[in-house]
């Protein structure tokens, strides 16, 4: 059996990179909005294996991406630990804010997330044979920033304050997240996930010793914990907007693939990282919304900058709801060389 294109690109540089997009299932697709309306709400969709499977498959059917990412959310782990989670219509996720691990427990995590693991099992059967299945979780700092603030915040100020003033209490939350995340990701791999991604969306709000303690160390602990359990799948690190040396991040966390955000200095990173590390990224999601010549130019520039590297084409952050699906189809055709740049 020939290897799947995505997995092949991890071992050998390809003439054309494989492509998938962060948040490729979602509100920019009318078929997603229809299923979400039927499900009753976003969380009902996440915990319904049949419907979660369906929305995961939608972008694969429409665009034939090389990889499929499990439909779930990084905030399901806090809920599984016992924190109240809900969605405010038109706004986003909300959690009852906490400032220590008191009241949270690991005991119920496995049964709470069992429906998500069932979605992975279903996908491992229903995905086309050439499509790679990616499992994921949020990295502890990013997830904890929502747990402490109770919502998304522009600068993660509540979590930074707790980490600075009560580091033991903050550490207790991070430690619990590391444990729960190792269990959850190992279960995803047992159910059929072939690659894992750790989303550190808010890496950019920390630097220096705080970045090392709250971003780098917990991600390293998750990856070494997974390896100690015999999990061998490739792992994608995505420290978005991180103010750190990327070669150091990769070496110390142990990730095999580095996801680059829109602002990353592609040329410098392509030159400075060891050649066995696979790069992923980093088209600006807003350029995909606008399309046209700017889209072609940016695709060409990304392909050029990474031409000497093992590389996976992606966005620099999640796709936004305003994205015209026709632009996504065009992006895939251009990256695959089915249309001239």
Catalytic pick among 27, 33, 296, 336: 27
In whole angstroms, what is the distance from residue 148 CA to residue 141 CA? 10
Q: Which is nearer to ligand 1CP, 74 or 328 (CB)?
A: 74
Closest CA to 126 of 58, 208, 26, 202: 58
Cα distances (Å, whole numbers) of residue 84 to 52, 143, 147, 273: 21, 14, 10, 41
Catalytic pick among 23, 122, 160, 240: 23
Q: Which of 53, 66, 73, 305 binds ligand 1CP (CB under 6 A)?
A: 73
68: which 2 tokens?
A: 């499929």
Tell me, what DSSP letter sits at residue 107?
T
Catalytic-residue membership of 32: no
Per CB under 6 A, contacts with ligand 1CP among 191-220 are 199, 201
Q: Counting contacts by CB under 6 A, is residue 42 touching ligand 1CP?
A: yes
Angle, helices 167-191 vs 140-149, to 10°: value is: 120
Q: In sequence order, what DSSP letters do the residues of 75-97 get, joined into one string?
A: THHHHHTT--EEEETTTEEEE--
Q: Which of 8, 13, 14, 27 binds ligand 1CP (CB under 6 A)?
A: 27
Tell me, what DSSP letter sits at residue 128?
-
Catalytic pick among 28, 32, 36, 305: 36
Q: Counting contacts by CB under 6 A, is residue 116 touching ligand 1CP?
A: no
Q: Counting contacts by CB under 6 A, is residue 310 touching ligand 1CP?
A: no
In whole angstroms, what is the distance from residue 197 CA to residue 237 CA? 6
**Contact window for ligand 1CP (CB under 6 A) among 17-25, 176-184, 243-251, 291-299:** 17-25
Q: Counting contacts by CB under 6 A, is residue 141 touching ligand 1CP?
A: no
Q: How many angstroms separate the first and last alpha carbons of the chain?
A: 32
Catalytic-residue membership of 23: yes
**Contact window for ligand 1CP (CB under 6 A) among 11-19, 68-76, 111-119, 187-195:** 68-76
Enclosing H/E stretch for 281? strand 278-283
| Contact map string, positions 75 to 114, toward ligand 1CP, x by CB under 6 A | x----------------xx---------------------
Catalytic residues: 23, 27, 36, 73, 146
Q: Interface residues with ligand 1CP (CB under 6 A)? A: 22-27, 36, 42, 69, 71-75, 92-93, 136, 138, 152, 199, 201, 318
């Amino acid at each position: 059996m020939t290897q799947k294109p995505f997995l092949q690109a991890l071992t050998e540089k390809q003439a054309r990179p494989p492509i998938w997009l962060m948040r490729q299932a979602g509100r920019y697709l009318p078929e997603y909005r229809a299923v979400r309306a039927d499900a009753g709400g976003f969380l009902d969709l996440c915990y319904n294996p049949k419907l979660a499977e369906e929305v995961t498959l939608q972008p694969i059917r429409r665009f034939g991406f090389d990889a499929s990412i499990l439909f779930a959310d990084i905030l399901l782990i806090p809920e599984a630990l016992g924190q109240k989670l809900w969605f405010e219509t038109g706004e986003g996720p909300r959690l009852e804010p906490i400032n220590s691990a008191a009241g949270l427990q690991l005991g119920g995590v496995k049964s709470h997330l069992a429906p998500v693991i069932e979605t992975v099992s279903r996908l491992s059967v229903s995905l086309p044979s050439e499509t790679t299945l990616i499992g994921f979780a949020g990295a502890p700092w990013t997830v904890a920033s929502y747990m402490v603030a109770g919502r998304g915040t522009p600068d993660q100020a509540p979590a930074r304050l707790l980490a600075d003033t009560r580091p033991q209490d903050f550490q207790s939350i991070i430690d619990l997240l590391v444990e729960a995340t190792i269990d959850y990701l190992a279960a995803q791999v047992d159910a059929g996930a072939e690659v894992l991604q750790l989303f550190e969306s808010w890496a950019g709000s920390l630097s220096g010793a705080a970045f090392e303690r709250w971003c780098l160390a917990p991600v390293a602990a998750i990856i070494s914990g997974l390896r100690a359990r015999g999990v061998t799948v490739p792992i994608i690190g995505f420290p978005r907007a991180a103010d750190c040396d990327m070669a150091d991040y990769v070496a110390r966390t142990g990730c095999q693939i580095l996801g680059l955000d829109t602002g990353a200095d592609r040329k410098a990173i392509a030159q400075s990282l060891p050649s066995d590390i696979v790069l992923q990224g980093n088209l600006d999601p807003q350029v995909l919304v606008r399309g046209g010549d700017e889209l072609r130019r940016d695709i060409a520039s990304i392909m050029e900058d990474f031409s000497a590297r093992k590389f996976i084409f992606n966005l620099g952050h999640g796709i936004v709801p305003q994205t015209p699906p026709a632009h996504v189809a065009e992006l895939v055709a251009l990256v695959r060389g089915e249309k001239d740049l």
